[in-house]
């Protein structure tokens, strides 16, 4: 395994009229647990179902109904915690977060304020080769999602869909360790990658299955270091929270806008008010949703319907023993075992399916060459057609077959590209298709020699030129390749040209 050590990235600096400012960002990520049933009821979580069809009596808070914890969801939270190298709390507890809203039939969400199931952890966020931020995780708690209000179906009425009510969320809270818009996007994307590897959340941001509440503040150079040394938040600026972001691009735009807005207020002698804001991607600006004064008073208290959640260390150990290989480990292994570059290893480990495909192709073959073909030829082609690797018309065995034909010298790289095209549209066994299309590299030196001798005899002036300037010998190589229909091995031709011309 490679020993990967990282340098910390520089914080994003924005030059103001009164000097430099630095950004400080902490995120809360509600990630929907990939579970078929809700957190406290057996109702289905299926997306796209008829409105209000996946609602149990517990979800719509019928009198006398009692929540029952779904241990599959608890297991997913534990797995996620272990994936973020976090402490697992064997005893956690549920609290009621009270507020009135039409999409919340209970009048409260069951959450974990005081005793979350997962404690402190860490995510390594790589920004470029050798440069990475260690973002500390403060906690992950389990909570219920709310339903959905629909205001645009009727001019006079609003509707509610409770299908989402009670679906399990893992709220992943980071420390304010993120120092710029790119880092923020990279953090979300890394977290999403880890959860997808674990299978605990599908990471679908478009559907809102993974969202980000982004806390942004600005401070002067040196302030953050003082915060780090003391963990005293007083060293940091007042933050605003931008709610419900579900696009990496918008997260970056919103942070940049928000930081500049705060800087303008501070440089004007004003004070940043702690508040919740929303980002409007059409206008490219954040606007106030509610200020701290208007903030909900959730009147949290322990949920009287649920006993504290106690889990056993042996169960946690068993889950830990069954953890899959995670992105950092896989990347390091790909670099060490297959000699991949940092970049290639990142691309190939971004998704589990790509990594598995690569390993199938690379097994027993040249790993670097396999990586090149998959990234440049296959992914390039899949992207063009908007296909995922799982929908690839070419299997890993077929790509492996093409690579084997190159390795054995049977076809040239140029032929391999043509073969790739034919296999893409027509399928088939690479060796058979190559044979059927007469793809065979000429390594027979007799044929090459004959073609070269004829060229030398017919072009004495070119011979003279090449003898004066060796670079011009390339002309002969080109002509031989042309004469053999691109079937000659260029290395063999080059060597023979040099030999014949006495270069
Ligand atoms: P609360 O309990 O009020 O919700 P937390 O202390 O739990 O606040 O912080 C919520 C989120 O805000 C965390 O992700 C945290 O890292 C982040 N955060 C806290 N202070 C700041 C700050 N000054 N600047 C940026 N982010 C911050």
CATH code where residue 496 lies: 1.10.10
| Nearest protein Cα to ligand 1, atom 13 | 26
Distance CA 240, CA 254 (A): 11
The number of CA neighbours under 13 Å toward the Cβ of 388 is 7
State the distance from the centre of ligand 1 to the C-alpha of 292, rounded, in angstroms: 13
- DSSP state, residue 114: S
How high is the pLDDT of residue 43? 98
**Which atom in ligand 1 lies closest to the alpha carbon of residue 237?**
23
Residues β-bridged to residue 88: 118
Tell which residue, 255, 124, 132, has the closest CA to residue 191.
124
Give burial (CB, 10 Å; 0-12/13-18/19+) of 391: exposed
User: Is the C-beta atom of 26 inside 6 A of ligand 1?
Assistant: yes
State the distance from the centre of ligand 1 to the C-alpha of 216, rounded, in angstroms: 9
Q: Domain count for the chain, please give it.
A: 3
State the distance from the centre of ligand 1 to the C-alpha of 253, rounded, in angstroms: 20
Per-residue pLDDT of the chain (503 residues; tens, 9 = 90+): 445 689 999 999 999 999 999 999 999 999 999 999 999 999 999 988 999 999 999 999 999 999 999 999 999 999 999 999 999 999 999 999 999 999 999 999 999 999 999 999 999 999 999 999 999 999 999 999 999 999 999 999 999 999 999 999 999 999 999 999 999 999 999 999 999 999 999 999 999 999 999 999 999 999 999 999 999 999 999 999 999 999 999 999 999 999 999 999 999 999 999 999 999 999 999 999 877 666 678 999 999 999 999 999 999 999 999 999 999 999 999 999 999 999 999 999 999 999 999 999 999 999 999 999 999 999 999 999 999 999 999 999 999 999 999 998 889 888 999 999 999 999 999 999 999 998 887 777 787 888 888 889 999 898 888 888 888 888 988 888 888 777 777 877 888 888 888 87
Distance of CA 240 to the CA centre of its chain: 26
**Which atom in ligand 1 lies closest to the alpha carbon of residue 241?**
12
What does the CA dihedral 69, 33, 280, 180 come to, rounded to 10 degrees?
Answer: 110
**Which atom in ligand 1 lies closest to the alpha carbon of residue 175?**
16
**Same domain membership, residue 165 and residue 40:** yes
- DSSP state, residue 15: E
CB atoms within 10 A of CB 394: 19
User: Is the C-beta atom of 116 inside 6 A of ligand 1?
Assistant: no
**Same domain membership, residue 449 and residue 423:** no
State the distance from the centre of ligand 1 to the C-alpha of 102, rounded, in angstroms: 28
Print the SS3 string covering 328-369: HHHHHHHHHHHCCCHHHHHHHHCCHHHHHHHHHHHCCCCHHH
**Same domain membership, residue 283 and residue 220:** yes
Distance CA 214, CA 276 (A): 10
User: Is the C-beta atom of 174 inside 6 A of ligand 1?
Assistant: yes
CA distance readout (Å), 220 to 16, 50, 52: 10, 52, 50
SS3 352: helix
- DSSP state, residue 12: P
State the distance from the centre of ligand 1 to the C-alpha of 215, rounded, in angstroms: 6
* Secondary structure tally for the chain: helices H, strands E: 17, 16
State the distance from the centre of ligand 1 to the C-alpha of 26, rounded, in angstroms: 6
Distance CA 127, CA 9 (A): 8
User: Is the C-beta atom of 276 inside 6 A of ligand 1?
Assistant: no
How high is the pLDDT of residue 4? 65
What does the CA dihedral 41, 46, 48, 50 come to, rounded to 10 degrees?
Answer: -50
State the distance from the centre of ligand 1 to the C-alpha of 281, rounded, in angstroms: 24
How high is the pLDDT of residue 3? 53
**Same domain membership, residue 110 and residue 78:** yes
Helix axes 71-83 and 181-198, enclosed angle (nearest 10):
130
Helix axes 490-501 and 460-468, enclosed angle (nearest 10):
90
Q: Which two tokens stand for residue 123?
A: 């995510």
Our mutation pick for probing the ligand 1 site, out of 179, 237, 239, counting the most ligand atoms within 8 A of Cβ, is 239
What's the whole-model pTM score? 0.89
Find the DSSP H helices in 374-429: 380-384, 396-407, 413-426
**Same domain membership, residue 183 and residue 66:** yes
User: Is the C-beta atom of 181 inside 6 A of ligand 1?
Assistant: no
State the distance from the centre of ligand 1 to the C-alpha of 190, rounded, in angstroms: 20
Structural domain containing residue 459: 445-501
Backbone phi and psi for residue 461, each to the nearest 5 degrees, phi listed first: -65, -40
**Which atom in ligand 1 lies closest to the alpha carbon of residue 28?**
14
How high is the pLDDT of residue 485? 76
Q: Which two tokens stand for residue 398?
A: 């077929």
User: Is the C-beta atom of 25 inside 6 A of ligand 1?
Assistant: yes
How high is the pLDDT of residue 150? 93
**Same domain membership, residue 455 and residue 376:** no
**Same domain membership, residue 102 and residue 50:** yes
Backbone phi and psi for residue 140, each to the nearest 5 degrees, phi listed first: -130, 125
Contacts of the segment 451-454: beta carbons below 8 A, 24+ positions apart: 451/480, 451/483, 451/484, 451/488, 452/476, 452/480, 452/493, 452/496, 452/497, 452/500, 453/500
User: Is the C-beta atom of 239 inside 6 A of ligand 1?
Assistant: yes
User: Is the C-beta atom of 173 inside 6 A of ligand 1?
Assistant: yes
**Same domain membership, residue 220 and residue 185:** yes
**Same domain membership, residue 455 and residue 385:** no
**Same domain membership, residue 344 and residue 256:** no
State the distance from the centre of ligand 1 to the C-alpha of 239, rounded, in angstroms: 7
- DSSP state, residue 373: I
Our mutation pick for probing the ligand 1 site, out of 120, 215, 228, 243, counting the most ligand atoms within 8 A of Cβ, is 215
Among the candidates 295, 320, 345, a domain finishes at: 320
User: Is the C-beta atom of 27 inside 6 A of ligand 1?
Assistant: yes
User: Is the C-beta atom of 23 inside 6 A of ligand 1?
Assistant: no
Q: Which two tokens stand for residue 39?
A: 């957190």
Distance CA 12, CA 30 (A): 26
Among the candidates 407, 436, 465, a domain finishes at: 436
Distance of CA 276 to the CA centre of its chain: 27
How high is the pLDDT of residue 341? 96
Among the candidates 320, 354, 377, a domain finishes at: 320
**Same domain membership, residue 468 and residue 349:** no
Our mutation pick for probing the ligand 1 site, out of 24, 171, 174, 176, counting the most ligand atoms within 8 A of Cβ, is 176
| Residue 218 parent element (H or E) | strand 212-219
How high is the pLDDT of residue 293? 66
**Same domain membership, residue 459 and residue 406:** no
How high is the pLDDT of residue 387? 96
User: Is the C-beta atom of 24 inside 6 A of ligand 1?
Assistant: yes
Backbone phi and psi for residue 471, each to the nearest 5 degrees, phi listed first: -60, -30
User: Is the C-beta atom of 215 inside 6 A of ligand 1?
Assistant: yes
User: Is the C-beta atom of 135 inside 6 A of ligand 1?
Assistant: no
């Amino acid at each position: 395994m490679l020993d990967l050590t990282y340098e910390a990235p520089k914080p994003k600096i924005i030059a103001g009229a009164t000097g430099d400012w630095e950004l400080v960002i902490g995120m809360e990520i509600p990630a929907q647990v990939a579970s078929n049933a809700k957190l406290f009821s057996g109702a289905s979580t299926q997306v796209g179902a008829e409105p209000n069809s996946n609602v149990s009596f517990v979800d719509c808070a019928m009198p006398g109904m009692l929540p029952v914890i779904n241990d599959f969801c608890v297991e997913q939270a534990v797995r996620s915690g272990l994936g973020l190298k976090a402490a697992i709390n064997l005893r956690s507890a549920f609290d009621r977060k009270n507020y009135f809203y039409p999409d919340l039939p209970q009048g409260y969400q069951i959450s974990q304020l005081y005793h979350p199931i997962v404690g402190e952890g860490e995510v390594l966020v790589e920004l470029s080769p050798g440069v990475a931020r260690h973002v500390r995780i403060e906690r992950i708690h389990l909570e219920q999602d709310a339903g959905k209000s629909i205001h645009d179906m009727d001019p006079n009425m609003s509707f509610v869909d409770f299908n989402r009510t009670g679906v399990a969320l893992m709220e992943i809270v980071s420390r304010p360790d993120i120092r710029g818009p790119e880092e923020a996007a990279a953090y979300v994307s890394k977290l999403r990658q880890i959860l997808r590897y674990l299978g605990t959340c599908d990471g679908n941001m478009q559907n809102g299955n993974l969202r980000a509440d982004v806390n942004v503040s600005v401070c002067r150079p040196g302030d953050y270091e003082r915060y780090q040394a003391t963990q005293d938040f007083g060293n940091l600026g007042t933050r605003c929270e931008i709610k419900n972001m579900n696009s990496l691009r918008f997260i970056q735009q919103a942070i940049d806008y928000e930081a500049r807005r705060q800087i303008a207020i501070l440089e004007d002698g004003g004070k940043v008010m702690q508040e919740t804001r929303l980002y409007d991607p059409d206008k490219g600006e954040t606007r106030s949703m509610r200020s701290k004064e208007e903030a909900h008073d959730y009147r949290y208290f322990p949920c009287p319907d649920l006993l504290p959640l106690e889990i056993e260390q042996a169960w946690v150990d068993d889950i830990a023993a069954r953890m899959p290989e995670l992105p950092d480990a896989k990347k390091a292994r790909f670099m060490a075992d297959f000699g991949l570059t940092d970049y290639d290893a990142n691309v190939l480990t971004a998704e589990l399916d790509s990594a598995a495909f690569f390993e199938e192709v690379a097994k027993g073959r040249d790993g670097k060459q396999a990586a090149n073909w998959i990234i440049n030829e296959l992914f390039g082609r899949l992207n063009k057609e908007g296909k995922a690797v799982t929908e690839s018309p070419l299997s890993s065995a077929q790509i492996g077959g093409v690579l084997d034909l190159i390795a054995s010298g049977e076809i040239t790289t140029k032929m391999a590209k043509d073969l790739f095209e034919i296999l893409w549209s027509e399928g088939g066994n690479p060796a058979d298709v190559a044979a059927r299309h007469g793809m065979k590299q000429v390594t027979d030196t007799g044929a090459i020699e004959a073609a070269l001798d004829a060229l030398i005899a017919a072009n004495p002036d070119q011979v003279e030129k090449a003898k004066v300037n060796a670079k011009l010998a390339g002309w002969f190589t080109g002509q031989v390749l042309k004469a053999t229909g691109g079937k000659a091995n260029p290395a063999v031709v080059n060597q023979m040209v040099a030999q014949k011309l006495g270069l």
